[in-house]
Structure 1
Amino acid sequence: MRTYIVYDLEFTVLRKQQYSADIIEIGAVKLIDGEQGPIEVDRFQTYVKPERNKVITAHTTEFTGITQEQVDSAPSFRDAIELFLQWIGNDTYYLCSWGPDDKQHFVRQCRDMKLELKWLRNMNDLQLFYTKLQGNDASRRIGLSKALESAGLAFDGSQHRALDDAANTARLFVRMFDQITLELNNASDDPLYETKLVYSSVEEDDDDNNPFRHLASLFGNPK
């Protein structure tokens, strides 16, 4: 049986680019093949204790709603991954996310912590699939809220919370499932990703919920 894991991550928000962002929340929805397409069977959520910058910034809490108390009592990244893998199970699975950033963060943090990457397999960028299905060039990606709107769906839950973002992405995944071909791959074969994440005030699209725009507004205009 094939399993589809639609996941989302939240990270620490850092103004200084020389520091690497920590993953502080993992949210995911598990789907399996049904008679009329993928059907949801379970959900997963955990906060993650930051490894590099143990005190999260006020910008992080403002952007994600995640508090210091929540991450202080959370499992370490290593333990959170173990919990995530136990939840995924032993069936053949595909890891699907909205955009490339979550994959890159998983790869970077696993590499930095000397964790094996073989479990990071069959990773698929649903945002890229959806953008192309709408006839857009890959360089003009569609934000999650805009994609839901175009599909006639209202955002359910709170934005920039991992489980809610994953659940909304899963709704789009079900809609486009018959029109896409999921890729087979393994992150252990990928080149080393850059560890810095740059938040820009430049709008990649006109989505009012573009996270880069919100992050830029938190920091204000540099002098």
Structure 2
Amino acid sequence: MSYIEDYFPLFLQERYWYPMSVSVGRSLIFSSRLLNLSVLRYSVTTDCGRKLFSPQSFSMASSIASANIAAQDFHDFLVLDFEATCIRNGRLAPQEIIEFPVLKVSGRTFEVESEFHTYVEPQVHEVGEFCTELTGITKEMVAGKPHLPDVLEMFHDWMQKEDLLSNETKSIFVTCGDWDLKTMLPGQCDYCKLPIKPYFNQWINIKKPFARVTGEYPKSMMAMLERLDLKHVGRHHSGLDDCKNIAKILKAIAERKFRFIPTGAKR
């Protein structure tokens, strides 16, 4: 049984659980444990060569996982959360993006399917002590990293690779607040005289769907996690970790049968 038990931790992470019985050798063993179909990634075989589980045998898992989720108008949700140069009292001009993370989330299962992430070297102001204290990003972490014009090209290439630019694929960005795509990116692109791709012109501010389903407009991402009884992961104000937490909020709202619509647009 040890080889079976070694695999159980892989199955005990997510939300969808089913009772199981396992045949090992000549005896039938009924387990009081529960098998999570949605995270099965391995085949398990007995010492007599009989295959017990395989990913193919549980292809139904994703449809089970999405059973409580309303049909959406979007194939993918792109969760985005910039980090930028900052000072303790006041605002830098220009403020510059120093972390550019995006998670591609399936509009059917609301699971993360792909990730784009890079640090960005600022060209005007270096990362200062307060910025490091807030975000965990040091000037050494951004030194030698691509500047924003190159990052935008890299991101566009990633969008193409993920088939997000196809006319048959409908996607939308998801942010926590309107600042990222209403203020930060347009402001820096204007300063650098860079064109903004049309796909950045529309987004969902996750605070607004949250308010619709709970009746409360949240002050912060942390408040939403607490209200939805979700555990915070990583470091707050790490762009990538914030994206992971926003994706959890997005999924929790979707599981309440909420159908997402755009809440913000560039005019």
TM-score range for the pair, normalised by the shorter chain length: 0.7 to 0.9
Residue 27 of structure 1, CA deviation = 1.3
CA 1:92–1:65: 2 relative to 1, 3 Å: same
Residue 92 of structure 1, CA deviation = 2.7
- The residue aligned with 2:194 is 115
Secondary structure (helix, strand or coil) at the match of 1:28 reads strand
Q: Give matches, 1:155-194, under 5 Å.
A: 155-177=232-254, 178-183=257-262, 187=266, 190=267
CA 1:186–1:127: 2 relative to 1, 3 Å: closer
Question: Higher relative contact order by CA 8 Å / sep ≥ 6: 1 or 2?
Answer: 1
In 2, Cα distance between equivalents of 1:48 and 1:75: 5
Q: Give matches, 1:120-131, under 5 Å.
A: 120-131=200-211
Q: Which one of 38, 43, 48 corresponds to residue 115 of structure 2?
A: 43
Residue pair 1:30, 1:88 contacting (<8 A) in 2 also: no
Q: Which one of 78, 82, 87 corresponds to residue 5 of structure 1?
A: 78
Residue 18 of structure 1, CA deviation = 5.9
Q: Give matches, 1:79-118, under 5 Å.
A: 79-89=150-160, 90=165, 91-103=169-181, 104-117=183-196, 118=198
Larger radius of gyration: 2
Q: Give matches, 1:68-79, under 5 Å.
A: 68-79=139-150
CA 1:133–1:142: 2 relative to 1, 3 Å: farther
In 1, Cα distance between equivalents of 2:227 and 2:265: 32
- The residue aligned with 1:32 is 106
Secondary structure (helix, strand or coil) at the match of 1:115 reads coil
Residue 84 of structure 1, CA deviation = 1.7
Residue pair 1:5, 1:88 contacting (<8 A) in 2 also: no
- The residue aligned with 2:130 is 59
Q: TM-score, normalised by structure 1?
A: 0.74
List alignment gaps of at least 5 residues for structure 2: 1-73
CA 1:186–1:131: 2 relative to 1, 3 Å: closer
In 2, Cα distance between equivalents of 1:18 and 1:33: 37
Residue pair 2:176, 2:221 contacting (<8 A) in 1 also: yes
Aligned residues: 182
CA 1:102–1:18: 2 relative to 1, 3 Å: closer
CA 1:169–1:81: 2 relative to 1, 3 Å: same
In 2, Cα distance between equivalents of 1:184 and 1:135: 16
Residue 81 of structure 1, CA deviation = 1.4
Residue 128 of structure 1, CA deviation = 2.2
Secondary structure (helix, strand or coil) at the match of 1:119 reads helix
CA 1:184–1:88: 2 relative to 1, 3 Å: farther
In 1, Cα distance between equivalents of 2:240 and 2:184: 17
RMSD: 2.0
Q: Give matches, 1:129-148, under 5 Å.
A: 129-136=209-216, 140-148=217-225
CA 1:127–1:60: 2 relative to 1, 3 Å: same
CA 1:86–1:175: 2 relative to 1, 3 Å: same
Identity %: 24
CA 1:18–1:147: 2 relative to 1, 3 Å: closer
CA 1:175–1:73: 2 relative to 1, 3 Å: same
CA 1:59–1:185: 2 relative to 1, 3 Å: closer
Residue 143 of structure 1, CA deviation = 1.2
In 2, Cα distance between equivalents of 1:112 and 1:92: 30
